[in-house]
């Protein structure tokens, strides 16, 4: 069977493929009284799908979060692609890894991982470098850091998003440390690398991106601080003040109380990390929103529920707006 | 007369020097019924001063904002240095330039000016580069950019502060453009260079840092947009959309309505510029506050009226906290 | 063909008319698998409409924003009128002006235009009167001022709304200037007349009320200031301070940062204009909401999304509540 | 004894006069160990005063809030006038009415009282007019309305301020009712006249402007509603709905919860009253602040603690800024 | 006819019962073109219901708020129970009391009423006890207190809710008075008993929970204060200060302006009452939300629109989490 | 030497006593050119003091935070008591414990400690009781809990304040658990006892109440969670979910982000604890402010910087306001 990626589907064609079921609802309607209303995804995108025939019976076979093998046709409905499925069978987790079907970073994750390793090595302070190396020595930890999303939604919410975000923030902090030599570069860099490490415990990303119980009840700031603290406590001679400053970096990195920082940044490194982190998250969010709207041929995005404003996409051909110098 | 810099004054010694009068008050008190209570400054710092004898007569001779030549002694009062002046005579602006007595950037301003020129040249888009070159071609404009403070108080509020802030923001934006190739680097860089250009009209910095009337009534966002718009209107073929996006960058760079942006950032370049600008201003503010408190031998700064928190200065000898790797 | 106005439609009758298509959606449902779900309007109101037969084919013929000629029947659905269309054909902009189909002020717009001209003439200050006359000398400008809505939604969002709002605000300001003789009546009046002039560039009102690109990215405060500034720059001898105060009136008229004023009102005229403008907009909004609910026979409006409260409509016969004196 | 008004005092002259003691403090200092630091006022202004000789003994003789007869000299201290008192004796309330020494409206209060009576008579609705007439029939009530300040501080905080504010708000509401014929003019006017009637119970203005206990604990909205309600309950046939709408006008006139309105305006009359009231209070506040700063020869007011901004006063000679038409 | 309680309905069974119609909509759809979409309730819960046959005709027979006698079958739809009705006939208010069909407190209301009477008797202060007794002497008042809900929605929004809330708050205040002997226990207790008495006038609960006109326009704080004030005015010798303090307790009990308190708590009793009231309302709300989600087998509640967060329900078997001591 | 307690000092008498120096400043003034301006305290109150003679020399002998033995006279200055010291000698920490001189709870701390022990024993859940017992087994921990203040300022800011606050909150929670049987009483009680345990690490109270470095940088929520977590990790079989819920109680007990809770309360126990804690702190704060103002003979407190309102103290003789029943 020649499986099709969602990005490559075209209207009015036959479809065969394997997709993850993001959403599943049995709804009243259609000729048969019931139909199945689904959202399917793979790493290249998402598509709505309907099962009009035999919906109740088919519904019994699988659950949200399953990967399913389907056949059907692609139709256009209100200017968007939609699948009309005629057949659907679930695959077991043994047959297939659901994580592969989740949205995934466009970047070269191996290159990012190497870049992160270099950043770790560039930390001059013995204690901090030892701490970072100790954490990354653990294979599970490293694999988690390289696959986790950086958020359930909004920014970097895709497989590899945490790695991407971490490297970007660390690179920005490197630049900031270069501009302001008074800053403790090593401390700032260690903070940048570890600031979102609590996401590993806050989120789950096996068959969908969601919060864990401890994610909801404690949050990634406290969870990240716990991990780092525990590791540092195991390192002989790690100075108490350094532990304190590192914990402060992690616990204050949201910058304001409103976003769940129990403390406001009180050191120059903490304020730098907060702003670098915010810059990176917001630019990623904006580019994601704008890119999506551009793919839909729109000139403005919808008013974003959190940003409270639409974003400008611009004319399809932007060449004119910012033409590179001809000579 | 061997003039002494304020930074070099020591207690219980004779003082001869030339200083700018930042504050002047004739107060009731002392044996003679009145005394003069002054704050003097030069580019290296500020010092309180008193005239106990003949205060009323001396008070007639000069005004706040004058540069004065003084003799007296340096005393200690409540652990701080204070001058007891016995003689004081004002100098005319022809004799001496008051700007030289204002606080001044520590950085090499000539190097920063060259760096700014390089950044301008690196803008690839013909229209934007032409716009920047046209502005900087004007000697007065360039001199103003290189001497203006970036704010009346808080961050970069010293001679050369605008230049320092502009170059830092532009360098951060360069890094951001490198991390996010989807961004229009030229537009972002031009926005970074021009974002605070309205400060030239908003502030005056001849004998003190203050707001102009139009600074108060219109603000540097609108004033900056006017300057840039006017220049761009004079360049043939400058695309309308590009003007619009550049104006948006300037008008939205405070990021939120609360700080006087009439529009929230609606492009990825605008959100990047806002955060880069905020990062730079805040780190500068933090480092300034912390440095000042460290000079006073304190472990924490006072609770800052705007930040609503004290900042951590740390133990005098920080060597231990973040020791560089010995090997 | 005897066209029917929407206000005059009655249930269970034949309908022939020409209406503007405000909203158009091809939806899944009905016996034929698809139906067209429309909102039609003319200057007297709006009405939902459905096309149940041949929907896909008919959908191809026209777009949102077109004026269409329809035949069908008026039915009642959930206590509201709804059209079931059997025929629909689009008219070209040459045949018919879509603007005539948009909601329109109830007021006598010619009388309002004359009133505005009188207000302009009543401005005693030479410079300000010259400025106003210069702007209104332009036929296009005057026509725009007399047709533009004052907002996309909420208050005075109908053809002629800007004119209505402008005259009302100017009349209120006249009264305020009478109560407070210390105010500069001419400046206040000029500010009242020009405060929303940027709406001409912020909004488009050809086939619907919407924001322009520059409306979104710059806003009507900055756009209005630009127009006024440009005109004033062309008048010889126009005092700089007067330009400054007029710009301040326009840029601060939203009164608070939260609504996009880059500056808070800092003159007595500016605070008066802000409050007069707000009063007029809010009373218009309240009366509109209450009138609409009264037409639907309701005693309370729905909780308004922006006002966060329902409004009191009162019993249908209000005679008793506030009976005029019988003698 | 030829008493001098504070406005007429000139430096370096003998002073004889009667003033109200607004503030009194016995402080450590001066040659005698103690001195009296006073603020005196009469209806034309305020002036600081000192008693350097025999301060302790003199201090025993009188209290804050007393009217005192003084002799001394007027001196200049830090550019402001200050009295050096040599003699001081308190007057009993029988000898003199302290209220005459409080700041007082510049307006012709008798004319305002007649204007208010006309406004009352213009109310067409029988019930509302009867209510207003019943209230004003009471001599004490009328006298209170005509002397009370409208606030302890900020706007209209002088004898006659409530009357001035009430008439201004009522006149604005008349204009609003003329612009919007859908409004119930009689209800709006009655609301305007009665909106601040609770100030009579909230404030005391015998020897200073202060809050009463019930003013602090209940506030003038509830207190005003009680008065009006009680009066309306005594009028036969007063419609319940009308009572309700009038109470709502009073209780919601601050417009937002933050200023102590237990309910947001929910009728068009209520929103109109709120904005008219706010406009009048704010313009009065601005003009007061600006006038005071102009008298001190300043170009900008200080940043106002509540407004959070300085206000523009302008150049001393404003002739140029807004020159009346010469022809 | 054996009527079934909603709590006892099971899927795929015949249904006969009497229910209150909470919501009624005639909607387009189904084979017949129209169907009735209803929400029914009795004191044990609510259930959606549909009438697919003859919907238009049946719709004419009854209104929202009626109690109806129905027959049909219970089906499962999207995991929830739903009724398919074949017959429906309205009952007149004479036949049946709609209040019995509204949600109802689980508690023993008679016991709560006795507890409240005891709390009243425990008030030692003569005036306050007399006031309470006078109010409760009125049969209608007592019956209202014992049936009213404490709110339209959110907390204690069921028949008997006000009684439940009042007793809980009074008991908490008793405890607080015990912990802080400086508090005036009698005043605090009287305040606790009377704080929400205005709900009797603010809400209607005959056939649904809704606001009255005066509820919307004046609110239960002002309405409660009026009732209490009127009663206290009728008691000879009731001290004015005590009236004032009691009014203050009622008017400030929401604690902050944002929730419609015209005054912030300014006495220790007022701050205690506010917090006790808030605690009780919030715990009731949380337990209600959690209980409902647990019944649906969920581990977390939905994000609550007002609380802005999901609530933790926990694993179905909580035994392990908090095991009672085995010994 | 017969030492006098500050509460017992009377004007115009000789003073001999031992006090803690809370504040010390060498100021310019007095006949000798300098004087010492001090604030002294013991557990019964504070008093300002001056050293007029030989101030510079005496100033060398001691520091802020020292306990000093003084002789002098008590005078009245601006209606307040003030000491004029003639002699002053510091005592070493060996001679005397500075903690005894800090403000101290009025309550019987031994009785409170026993009450706390009883509350601990009443916890039924094995794991939670074991955790509490383990913590309190440590003598240092118990001594700290019994002496620490509950805050640097505002509420319970005196020796024994934490114990007092903890017992009060626990008793309130007991009552809440009684009113709402659905709550997990043991969990709630354990949370109440441990909620502020982080104060032991956040504050120092040796010679004054202040924040520690980790108090500033991490805060007592995170610090308390660490202590509890560490102890629970050492108890075999302590259920993970129970740890999670207990951590959540501690981390969310400030209830809102604005006060530094990294998480909002998401369980019924957490919301109950938050409100009980807030109630107790606020009532303590109000009673403290009111008591202090009553001691000064005032009818209203000053407007409190944090509460933004004055508090009502009432007439000196309150007997009438709330007279107990005579029969």
Summarised one tens digit per residue, pLDDT across range E265-278 is 999 999 999 999 99
Question: Which of B321, B324, B326, B327 best tests the A interface by mutation, with the highest count of A CBs <10 A?
Answer: B321
Residue from the list D248, D278, D315 with its beta carbon closest to the beta carbon of C275:
D278
- % of residues, chain C, pLDDT over 90: 69
Q: What pLDDT does F2 receive?
A: 55
**Average pLDDT in the A38-50 region?**
90
Which chain E residue's Cα is nearest to C313?
E213
How high is the mean pLDDT of chain C?
A: 90
Is there an interface between B and F (3+ Cβ pairs < 8 A)? yes
Element spanning F193, H or E: helix F185-194
**Pairing label, strands D203-204, D210-211:** antiparallel
Q: What pLDDT does C33 receive?
A: 65
In this predicted structure, the answer to whether residue E186 has a pLDDT above a threshold of 80 is: yes
DSSP reduced 3-state for A51 = strand
Pairwise CA distance, residues F291 & F285, whole Å:
10
How many other CB atoms are found less than 10 A from the CB of residue E327? Answer: 4
CB contact under 8 A, B271 and A283: yes
Instruction: Read off the DSSP letter of residue C16.
Output: E
Degrees to nearest 5, angle at CA A114 with A111 and A117: 155
**Average pLDDT in the A186-200 region?**
98
**Average pLDDT in the E1-27 region?**
84
pLDDT band at E46 (very low <50, low <70, confident <90, very high): confident
Q: Which of B253-267, C69-83, E136-150 has the lowest mean pLDDT?
A: C69-83
Q: Is A177 near chain B, with CB under 8 Å?
A: no
Residues of E in contact with F324 (CB under 8 A): 124-126, 186
Which partners does chain D have (≥3 C-beta pairs < 8 Å)?
B, C, E, F
DSSP reduced 3-state for E150 = coil
Contacts of F109 (CB under 8 A, 6+ apart): F146, F160, F163, F164
Token readout for C316 is 């249908």
Residues A228 and A220 sit within 8 Å (Cβ to Cβ): no
In this predicted structure, the answer to whether residue F31 has a pLDDT above a threshold of 80 is: no
Contacts of A94 (CB under 8 A, 6+ apart): none
Asked if this assembly's ipTM is beyond 0.95, the reply is: no
**Average pLDDT in the C31-38 region?**
78
pLDDT tens digits for range E187-239:
999 999 999 999 999 999 988 899 999 999 999 999 999 999 999 999 999 99
Element spanning B287, H or E: helix B268-295
**Average pLDDT in the B102-117 region?**
95
How many residues can be counted in chain F? 327
CB contact under 8 A, B311 and A267: yes
- % of residues, chain D, pLDDT over 70: 93
Residues of E in contact with D259 (CB under 8 A): 257
Is there an interface between D and A (3+ Cβ pairs < 8 A)? no
Which chain E residue's Cα is nearest to A27?
E78
In this predicted structure, the answer to whether residue D31 has a pLDDT above a threshold of 70 is: no
- % of residues, chain E, pLDDT over 70: 93
**Average pLDDT in the C281-295 region?**
94
In this predicted structure, the answer to whether residue A79 has a pLDDT above a threshold of 70 is: no
pLDDT band at A1 (very low <50, low <70, confident <90, very high): very low
In this predicted structure, the answer to whether residue D34 has a pLDDT above a threshold of 90 is: no
pLDDT tens digits for range A81-124:
889 999 999 998 788 888 889 989 999 999 999 999 999 999 99
DSSP reduced 3-state for F289 = helix
Instruction: Read off the DSSP letter of residue C92.
Output: -
Pairwise CA distance, residues B42 & C89, whole Å:
80
- Bridge partners of B68, per DSSP, are B19, B90
Element spanning F13, H or E: strand F13-28
**Average pLDDT in the D53-57 region?**
86
Residues B282 and B273 sit within 8 Å (Cβ to Cβ): no
CB contact under 8 A, B312 and F216: yes
Q: Among E212, E207, E210, which Cα is nearest to E100's?
A: E207
DSSP reduced 3-state for E15 = strand
Q: Is C78 near chain E, with CB under 8 Å?
A: yes
**Average pLDDT in the A189-214 region?**
95
- % of residues, chain A, pLDDT over 90: 68
pLDDT band at F319 (very low <50, low <70, confident <90, very high): very low
Q: What pLDDT does A175 receive?
A: 98
What secondary structure does DSSP assign to A126-166, as a single string? Answer: HHHHHHHHHHHHSHHHHHHHHH--S-SSSSS-SBTHHHHHH
Pairwise CA distance, residues B163 & B116, whole Å:
8
Q: Is C303 near chain E, with CB under 8 Å?
A: no
Which chain B residue's Cα is nearest to C243?
B214
Residues A199 and A150 sit within 8 Å (Cβ to Cβ): yes
Pairwise CA distance, residues D114 & D121, whole Å:
11
CB contact under 8 A, E244 and D219: no
How close B163 gets to chain C, by Cα (Å)?
24
Which chain A residue's Cα is nearest to F247?
A218
Pairwise CA distance, residues F65 & A297, whole Å:
71
Residues of C in contact with D320 (CB under 8 A): 239, 241
pLDDT band at D321 (very low <50, low <70, confident <90, very high): very low
Question: Which of E163, E325, E326, E327 best tests the F interface by mutation, with the highest count of F CBs <10 A?
Answer: E325
Q: What pLDDT does E31 receive?
A: 64
Pairwise CA distance, residues C70 & C47, whole Å:
13
**Average pLDDT in the D221-237 region?**
97
Residues of C in contact with D323 (CB under 8 A): 125-127, 239
Report the Cα E34 to chain-centroid distance in Å.
35
Q: Which of B4-18, B150-164, D306-320, F95-109 has the lowest mean pLDDT?
A: D306-320
Which partners does chain F have (≥3 C-beta pairs < 8 Å)?
A, B, D, E
User: Phi first, then psi: what are they for C77, rounded to 5°?
Assistant: -140, 120
In this predicted structure, the answer to whether residue D324 has a pLDDT above a threshold of 80 is: no
Q: What pLDDT does F78 receive?
A: 61
B-C contacts at Cβ under 8 angstroms: 69
More confident residue, E81 or A269: A269
Contacts of C306 (CB under 8 A, 6+ apart): C154
CB contact under 8 A, F287 and E279: no
Report CA Rg, chain B. Answer: 23
Token readout for C153 is 């939604």
Residues A179 and A186 sit within 8 Å (Cβ to Cβ): no
pLDDT tens digits for range C148-180:
999 998 899 999 999 999 999 999 999 999 999
In this predicted structure, the answer to whether residue B318 has a pLDDT above a threshold of 50 is: no
**Pairing label, strands A80-91, A45-51:** parallel
Q: What pLDDT does F33 receive?
A: 65
Contacts of B240 (CB under 8 A, 6+ apart): none
Q: Is B245 near chain C, with CB under 8 Å?
A: yes
Report the Cα D323 to chain-centroid distance in Å.
33
In this predicted structure, the answer to whether residue B215 has a pLDDT above a threshold of 70 is: yes
Instruction: Read off the DSSP letter of residue A313.
Output: -
Element spanning F70, H or E: strand F67-77
Is there an interface between E and D (3+ Cβ pairs < 8 A)? yes
Residues of F in contact with A243 (CB under 8 A): none
Q: Is F26 near chain B, with CB under 8 Å?
A: yes
Give the burial class of D203: count Cβ atoms within 10 A of its Cβ; 0-12 exposed, 13-18 middle, 19 or more buried.
buried
Q: Where are the alpha helices (DSSP H) in C85-138?
A: 109-121, 126-137
Residues D90 and D67 sit within 8 Å (Cβ to Cβ): yes
**Pairing label, strands F67-77, F80-91:** antiparallel
Residues B4 and B45 sit within 8 Å (Cβ to Cβ): no
Question: Which of B285, B303, B315, B322 best tests the A interface by mutation, with the highest count of A CBs <10 A?
Answer: B322
In this predicted structure, the answer to whether residue B323 has a pLDDT above a threshold of 50 is: no
CB contact under 8 A, D26 and F312: no
Q: What pLDDT does C317 receive?
A: 52
Per-residue CA distances from B178 to A12, A275, B106, B174 (Å) = 41, 18, 29, 6
Which chain B residue's Cα is nearest to C251?
B218
How close A41 gets to chain B, by Cα (Å)?
25
Give the burial class of B156: count Cβ atoms within 10 A of its Cβ; 0-12 exposed, 13-18 middle, 19 or more buried.
buried
CB contact under 8 A, E216 and C77: no
Q: Among E310, E283, E308, which Cα is nearest to E299's?
A: E310
pLDDT band at F30 (very low <50, low <70, confident <90, very high): low
pTM above 0.80?
Answer: yes
Per-residue CA distances from F24 to B131, F20, F39, F48, F59 (Å) = 61, 11, 7, 10, 9
**Average pLDDT in the F174-200 region?**
98
Per-residue CA distances from E176 to E116, E173, E243, F174, F318 (Å) = 17, 5, 22, 12, 21
Report CA Rg, chain A. Answer: 23
Give the burial class of A204: count Cβ atoms within 10 A of its Cβ; 0-12 exposed, 13-18 middle, 19 or more buried.
middle
More confident residue, B208 or B173: B173
pLDDT tens digits for range A258-268:
999 999 999 99
Strands (E) located in chain D: 13-28, 34-42, 45-51, 67-77, 80-91, 203-204, 210-211
Residues F96 and F147 sit within 8 Å (Cβ to Cβ): no
Q: What pLDDT does F327 receive?
A: 38
CB contact under 8 A, D25 and F300: no
Q: Among A298, A85, E29, which Cα is nearest to C27's?
A: E29
In this predicted structure, the answer to whether residue D326 has a pLDDT above a threshold of 50 is: no
Pairwise CA distance, residues D100 & D17, whole Å:
14
How high is the mean pLDDT of chain A?
A: 90
More confident residue, C145 or F56: C145
Q: Tell me the CB-side half-sphere exposure of residue C120, using CA atoms within 13 A.
A: 19
Residues of F in contact with A260 (CB under 8 A): 257, 262-263
Q: What pLDDT does C78 receive?
A: 60
Pairwise CA distance, residues D105 & C185, whole Å:
22
CB contact under 8 A, F321 and E239: yes
How high is the mean pLDDT of chain F?
A: 90
Residue from the list B26, B213, B217 with its beta carbon closest to the beta carbon of D78:
B26
Q: What pLDDT does C323 receive?
A: 37
Q: Among F178, A208, F244, which Cα is nearest to E315's?
A: F244
How many other CB atoms are found less than 10 A from the CB of residue D302? Answer: 11
Q: What pLDDT does C318 receive?
A: 45
How close D130 gets to chain E, by Cα (Å)?
23
CB contact under 8 A, C309 and D125: no
Token pair 């209505």 is at which residue? C164
Q: What pLDDT does A44 receive?
A: 85
Which chain F residue's Cα is nearest to A213?
F244
In this predicted structure, the answer to whether residue B295 has a pLDDT above a threshold of 80 is: yes
Q: Among C148, C146, C154, C42, which Cα is nearest to C103's?
A: C42
Pairwise CA distance, residues B59 & B36, whole Å:
7
Is there an interface between F and D (3+ Cβ pairs < 8 A)? yes
């Amino acid at each position: 069977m020649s499986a099709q990626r969602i990005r490559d589907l075209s209207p009015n064609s036959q479809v065969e493929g394997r997709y993850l079921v993001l959403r599943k609802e049995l709804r009243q309607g259609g000729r048969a009284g019931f139909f199945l209303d689904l959202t399917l995804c793979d790493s290249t995108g998402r598509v709505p799908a309907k099962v009009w025939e035999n919906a109740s019976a088919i519904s019994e076979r699988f659950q949200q979060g399953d990967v399913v093998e389907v056949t059907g046709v692609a139709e256009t409905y209100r200017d968007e692609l939609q699948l009309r499925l005629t057949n659907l069978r679930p695959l077991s987790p043994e047959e297939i890894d659901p994580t592969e079907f989740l949205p995934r970073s466009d970047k070269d994750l191996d290159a990012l991982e190497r870049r992160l390793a270099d950043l770790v090595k560039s930390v001059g302070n013995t204690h901090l470098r030892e701490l970072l190396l100790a954490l990354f020595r653990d294979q599970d930890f490293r694999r988690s850091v390289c696959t986790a999303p950086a958020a359930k939604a909004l920014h970097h919410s895709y497989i590899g998003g945490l790695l991407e975000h971490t490297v970007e923030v660390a690179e920005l902090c490197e630049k900031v440390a270069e501009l302001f030599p008074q800053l403790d570069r090593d401390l700032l860099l260690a903070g940048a690398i570890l600031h979102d490490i609590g996401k590993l415990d806050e989120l789950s990303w096996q068959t969908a991106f969601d919060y864990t119980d401890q994610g909801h009840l404690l949050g990634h700031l406290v969870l990240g601080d716990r991990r780092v603290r525990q590791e540092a406590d195991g390192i002989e001679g790690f100075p108490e003040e350094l532990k304190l400053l590192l914990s402060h970096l992690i616990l204050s990195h949201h910058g304001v109380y409103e976003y769940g920082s129990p403390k406001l940044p009180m050191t120059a490194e903490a304020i730098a990390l907060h702003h670098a982190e915010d810059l990176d998250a917001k630019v990623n969010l904006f580019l994601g929103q704008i890119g999506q709207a551009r793919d839909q041929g729109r000139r403005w995005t919808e008013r974003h529920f959190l940003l409270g404003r639409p974003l400008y996409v611009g004319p399809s051909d932007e060449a004119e707006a910012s033409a590179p110098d001809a000579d």
